[in-house]
Each structure stands twice: as structure tokens, then as C-alpha cells.
């Protein structure tokens, strides 16, 4: 089945598996990949070690890199009708900054965000890979990136709440939250087929929460 959307964003908390899913979908549908190069951020490791000191630097770098990347893809002028799949939405910058910054620093960040955001292409739909913070911690430990090993459950919970608050305000595009507890779409073909079935369906402009039990093949 073909993708019914030309610009799809796969989102999720840290460690949810969004980039892995994007790669698999892009291979299947010959889509253009827009992947965040988070390891290029020179402030990231220092941020996890000393968040208050490096939060502004890390967020401004992410903002500039995401803007540059999204601005470089011909999404709006896509003459070949090629699908695009991204592992982030641009407002992720503001969601994380609102969690990590405060006061004048957050005010400065918001001013810059408001300048650049309206110029960028917007996704047609967002799929959010939802995993509970305790499950995310286990996945983060397994992938063993040194700078991430100190992430705490409360931090992941705060990021999750920021996403959900934002989703509840969206009315112009569909948001599909996929409960991914126990799913291994990287290695289990059945789980990947389940994700494909969700992504290739049309969805209404509201927030939809799906579990595997909702699916006719598994319920």
C-alpha cells in the first residue's frame, strides 16, 4: 500500500526508536529521509553533565541545524511527488527549550523560533511513538551512548508532557499516538507490519491514541 501522505514526521521521546522506524519506512517506500544529526551538537555532552550551564547553547545549536536542514529539502516544491519522512518536527526545538530554559534565555529563544518557524514546510501528519519513561530508560541503557546514561526518568516524563500538551492544541493536521509498549518494529516483522498498517491509513484531524489491542489482527 502506498503512503497517503507526502511529508510524514515520526516523533517520540528520547530512545523511542523514531530514527530506526524512519529508516525502515524510507527503505520500503523509497522516501527522502530527514534525520536529525544530534551527535553533531558540540554542546550536547556538556549539557547532560551540566544542564543549567549549557542549555541555551545546546538548544540554539539544535534550532539552527534543524532550520538549515528543513530549509534545504524541496518539500513544498516536490515536483516528483517523492515522500519525505522526518524523525522530528521543528517545534521540537521549542518544546525542549521550554523544558530546559527559563527567564530571559527562554524569551530570547522564543523570539528566534518565532522568526524562523513560519518559513518552514509543515508535516501533513505526525506519528508519535509512545513508550513509558521506564521503558525508555531501558532502551537508552541498551544503546549505551555515554552522554545519555545519566538521563533521569523525571526528565523523560517532563518531555513527554510537553509533547502531549502541544498535541492537544493541534487542529490543522492529524496526530497519531502509537502505544509501542513491547513492540520491536526493528526486528519483529509482525510489529513492523502493524506500524505500516497504521501509517498507510487516512487519519482525521485530531489526536488519536492507538494500542496493539485496537488492531483487528491482535485485539
Residue that is written with C-alpha cell 518559513 in the block = 119
Q: Give the alpha-carbon dihedral of 139, 144, 17, 46, to 10 degrees.
A: 110
Residues in the chain: 219
How far apart CA 46 and CA 34 sit, in angstroms, is 25
Please confirm, yes or no, whether 184 is among the known catalytic residues: no
How far apart CA 31 and CA 81 sit, in angstroms, is 10
How far apart CA 58 and CA 72 sit, in angstroms, is 21
Q: Of the listed 27, 87, 114, 179, which one is catalytic? A: 87
Other CB atoms within 10 A of residue 104 CB: 9
Q: Give, as one character, the DSSP assignment of residue 187.
A: T
Cβ-contact 15, 135 below 8 angstroms: no
Catalytic residues: 87
Amino acid at each position: 500500500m502506498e503512503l497517503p501522505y507526502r511529508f510524514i514526521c515520526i516523533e517520540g521521546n528520547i530512545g523511542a526508536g523514531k530514527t530506526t522506524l524512519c529508516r525502515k519506512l524510507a527503505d520500503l517506500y523509497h522516501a527522502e529521509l530527514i534525520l536529525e544529526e544530534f551527535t553533531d551538537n558540540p554542546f550536547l555532552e556538556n549539557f547532560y553533565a551540566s544542564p543549567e550551564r549549557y542549555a541555551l547553547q545546546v538548544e540554539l545549536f539544535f534550532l539552527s541545524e534543524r532550520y538549515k536542514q528543513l530549509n534545504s529539502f524541496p518539500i513544498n516544491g516536490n515536483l516528483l511527488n517523492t515522500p519525505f519522512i522526518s524523525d522530528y518536527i521543528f517545534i521540537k526545538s521549542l518544546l525542549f527549550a521550554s523544558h530546559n530554559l527559563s527567564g530571559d534565555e527562554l524569551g530570547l529563544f522564543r523570539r528566534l523560533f518565532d522568526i524562523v518557524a513560519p518559513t518552514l514546510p509543515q508535516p501533513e501528519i505526525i506519528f508519535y511513538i509512545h513508550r513509558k519513561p521506564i521503558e525508555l530508560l531501558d532502551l537508552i541503557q541498551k544503546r549505551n551512548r555515554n552522554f545519555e546514561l545519566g538521563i533521569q526518568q523525571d526528565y523523560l516524563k517532563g518531555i513527554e508532557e510537553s509533547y502531549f500538551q502541544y498535541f492537544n492544541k493541534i487542529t490543522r493536521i492529524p496526530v497519531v499516538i502509537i502505544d509501542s509498549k513491547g513492540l520491536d518494529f526493528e526486528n519483529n516483522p509482525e510489529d513492523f507490519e502493524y506500524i505500516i498498517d497504521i501509517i498507510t491509513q487516512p487519519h482525521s484531524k485530531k489526536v488519536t491514541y492507538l494500542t496493539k489491542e485496537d488492531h483487528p489482527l491482535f485485539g
